């Protein structure tokens, strides 16, 4: 039996949750959950100046919205600094790290000279092999003894083998002179202690991997499997940024994209399963594998996102969709729907969910349900309620009062009425939309009439006709 898979997402809480972080989290979640493994969350909050509570909270909200549940508690990297320091001291005790007493000025002078001589500016500390008796009292950092020759090969599951000449590695600092651990040490110690078996992350961390591997090797710890995924680009082939559109997970939530559609789209961003575009979570969990992650950066395609989201909305069960809509309305501070409105929504859902790409579009279509009498038409709808149209609506009312409320009967009635007025039903539609919904773009007039029922329909038409 191979070891159970353990993956993690390790965001730095320095702002909002980026869509790229969400994609990385999703890949790790799919990989672990699809294999009965564990998916962990570590907040990399060691940079005290930049980390904020708000940013950590945004990460937790983003994960919850996307349905990316993690095992156990979120781990704070900062809370584990004593453990990180302990590892540095162990390496020191084992002679795999050393105290370096060089001052900033000495290091700067070294670099200056190396640059002038056209040599590598990696600092070569004279303290690496200095006997402890020669150590002065005073401030020092702890550096790792990096290999000085040979090569390090990162066996990356996405990039293939990446070879680094060890001469390019420096004796990186593990502990600063104030005793605080550096980020690079923290990542390795945490991943080891958390039992992480697979590190799937952005390829902006590929160079870090070679340096992190030195620590694994020095500690005699098994390496994780590395998979560095290309970053997300905008449609123009440049790194995704605000210029292209929203980059924050919560912005997508607020724009009304369904989480299931978002997951589907993000999974397709850099990973593929044949020609499959639309798929469910269960399918993604079954299919996802590192081998099918592309080597070149994926481009964010807003149209494709919308299209997939529309398909997810259309395929969601009515009751589940209503639940999601309520949750969406709640984030913008809307009150829960009344029982009466809920039953109207239930009746209208099959029509509402067709062709709505976001919850915002769906709610827009449901305006005839959400609006209260007297309906306030918007500017465009108001222009359809001129004096002639109002007169026609007034004439129509008694016909509706005696009508049988079925689609065919209503169609026959309205078409017949239009003919009698020497016009077509199309001409009646605009004032009816205005009367029933206060809008010019609405679901079909018949759909609205059937959902609202005779009393409410007639009352709205009467309101508009007077
Ligand atoms: N904290 C890093 C980031 O937010 C991720 C580090 C890692 O995944 O190893 O980019």
The CA distance from 71 to 61, in Å, is 16
Question: What is the 42 CA–ligand 1 centroid distance (Å)?
Answer: 9
Under 8 Å CB-to-CB from 313, ≥6 apart: which residues? 258, 261, 321, 353, 356, 357, 358, 359, 362
Question: What is the 9 CA–ligand 1 centroid distance (Å)?
Answer: 8
**Per-residue pLDDT reduced to its tens digit, 19-39:** 999 999 999 999 999 999 999
Query: Is 242 considered catalytic here?
Result: yes
- Look up residue 441 and give its DSSP letter: S
| Cis? peptide before 115, omega within 30° of 0 | no
Give the mutation target among 202, 207, 232, 239 for probing the ligand 1 site: most ligand atoms within 8 A of CB. 202
Atom of ligand 1 nearest to the CA of 204: 10
> Which residue in the list 242, 421, 424, 427 is annotated as catalytic?
242
Structure-token pair, residue 52? 């904020």
Are the beta carbons of 355 and 394 closer than 8 angstroms? no
More confident position, 436 or 402: 436
Question: What is the 236 CA–ligand 1 centroid distance (Å)?
Answer: 26
pLDDT of residue 427: 86
Atom of ligand 1 nearest to the CA of 21: 4
Residue 245: exposure state from Cβ atoms within 10 A (0-12, 13-18, ≥19): middle
Question: What is the 200 CA–ligand 1 centroid distance (Å)?
Answer: 10
What confidence category does residue 2 fall into, taking pLDDT thresholds of 50, 70 and 90?
confident
Give Cα separations from 152 to 155, 208, 456 (angstroms). Answer: 9, 12, 75
Atom of ligand 1 nearest to the CA of 183: 1
pLDDT of residue 466: 86
Ligand 1 binding pocket (C-beta < 6 A) is 10-12, 44, 187, 201, 205
pLDDT of residue 426: 83
Give nearest CA residue, ligand 1 atom 3: 11
Q: How far is CA 372 from the centre of its chain?
A: 36
The CA distance from 142 to 281, in Å, is 47
The CA distance from 433 to 58, in Å, is 41
Structure-token pair, residue 15? 């702002």
Are the beta carbons of 448 and 437 closer than 8 angstroms? yes
Calculate the average pLDDT of the chain.
96
* pTM attached to this predicted model: 0.94
**Per-residue pLDDT reduced to its tens digit, 208-264:** 999 999 999 999 999 999 999 999 999 999 999 999 999 999 999 999 999 999 999
Give nearest CA residue, ligand 1 atom 2: 11
Instruction: Work out whether the CA dihedral 416, 421, 425, 429 comes out positive or negative.
Output: negative
pLDDT of residue 261: 98
Does position 3 have pLDDT exceeding 90, yes or no?
no
Are the beta carbons of 101 and 140 closer than 8 angstroms? yes
Give nearest CA residue, ligand 1 atom 7: 10
Are the beta carbons of 36 and 30 closer than 8 angstroms? no
Query: If we measure between CA atoms, which residue out of 342, 376, 368, 337 comes closest to residue 450?
Result: 368
Does position 280 have pLDDT exceeding 90, yes or no?
yes
Give nearest CA residue, ligand 1 atom 10: 11
What confidence category does residue 138 fall into, taking pLDDT thresholds of 50, 70 and 90?
very high
What confidence category does residue 1 fall into, taking pLDDT thresholds of 50, 70 and 90?
low
Question: What is the 229 CA–ligand 1 centroid distance (Å)?
Answer: 12
Query: If we measure between CA atoms, which residue out of 89, 87, 93, 128 comes closest to residue 215?
Result: 87
**Per-residue pLDDT reduced to its tens digit, 351-401:** 999 989 999 999 999 999 999 999 999 999 999 999 999 999 999 999 999
Atom of ligand 1 nearest to the CA of 8: 8
Give Cα separations from 171 to 59, 137, 193, 380, 393 (angstroms). Answer: 34, 21, 23, 70, 84
Are the beta carbons of 174 and 143 closer than 8 angstroms? yes
What confidence category does residue 265 fall into, taking pLDDT thresholds of 50, 70 and 90?
very high
pLDDT of residue 425: 87
The single residue listed with the structure tokens 């083998």 is 161
pLDDT of residue 273: 97
pLDDT of residue 461: 98
């Amino acid at each position: 039996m191979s070891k159970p898979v353990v993956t993690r997402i390790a965001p730095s809480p320095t702002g909002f949750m980026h869509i790229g972080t969400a994609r990385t989290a999703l890949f790790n979640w799919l990989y672990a959950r699809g294999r009965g493994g564990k998916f962990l969350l570590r907040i990399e909050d060691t940079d005290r100046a930049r980390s904020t509570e708000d940013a950590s909270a945004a990460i937790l909200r983003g994960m919850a919205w996307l349905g990316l549940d993690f095992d156990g508690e979120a781990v704070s990297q900062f809370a584990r600094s004593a453990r990180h320091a302990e590892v540095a001291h162990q390496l020191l005790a084992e002679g795999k790290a050393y105290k370096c007493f060089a001052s900033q000025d000495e290091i700067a002078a070294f670099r200056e000279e190396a640059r002038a001589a056209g040599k590598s500016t990696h600092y070569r500390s004279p303290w690496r092999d200095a006997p402890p008796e020669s150590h002065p009292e005073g401030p020092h950092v702890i550096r790792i003894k990096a290999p000085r020759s040979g090569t390090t090969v990162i066996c990356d599951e996405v990039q293939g083998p990446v070879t680094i000449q060890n001469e390019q590695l420096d004796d990186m600092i593990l502990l600063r002179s104030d005793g605080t651990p550096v980020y690079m040490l923290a990542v390795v110690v945490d991943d080891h202690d958390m039992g992480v078996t697979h590190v799937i992350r952005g390829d902006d961390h590929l160079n870090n991997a070679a340096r992190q591997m030195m620590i694994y090797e020095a500690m005699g710890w098994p390496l994780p499997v590395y998979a560095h995924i290309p970053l997300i680009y905008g449609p123009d082939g440049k790194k995704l940024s605000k210029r292209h559109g929203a980059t924050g997970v919560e912005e997508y939530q607020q724009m009304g994209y369904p989480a299931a559609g978002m997951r589907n789209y993000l999974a397709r961003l850099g990973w593929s399963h044949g020609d499959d575009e639309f798929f469910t979570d269960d399918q993604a969990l079954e299919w996802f594998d590192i081998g099918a992650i592309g080597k070149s950066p994926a481009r964010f395609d807003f149209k494709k996102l919308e299209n997939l989201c529309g398909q997810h909305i259309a395929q969601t069960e009515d009751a589940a969709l209503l639940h999601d809509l309520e949750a969406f309305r709640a984030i913008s501070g809307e009150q829960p729907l009344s029982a009466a409105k809920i039953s109207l929504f239930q009746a209208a859902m099959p029509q509402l969910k067709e062709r709505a790409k976001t919850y915002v579009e769906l709610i827009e279509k449901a305006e005839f349900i959400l609006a209260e009498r007297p309906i306030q038409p918007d500017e465009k709808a108001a222009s359809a309620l001129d004096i002639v149209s109002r007169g026609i609506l007034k004439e129509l009312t008694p016909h509706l009062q005696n009508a049988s409320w079925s689609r065919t009967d209503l169609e026959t009635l309205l078409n017949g009425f239009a003919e009698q007025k020497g016009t077509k039903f199309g001409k009646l539609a605009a004032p009816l939309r205005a009367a029933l919904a206060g809008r010019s773009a609405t679901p079909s007039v018949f759909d609205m009439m059937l959902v609202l029922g005779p009393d409410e329909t007639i009352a709205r038409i009467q309101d508009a006709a007077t």
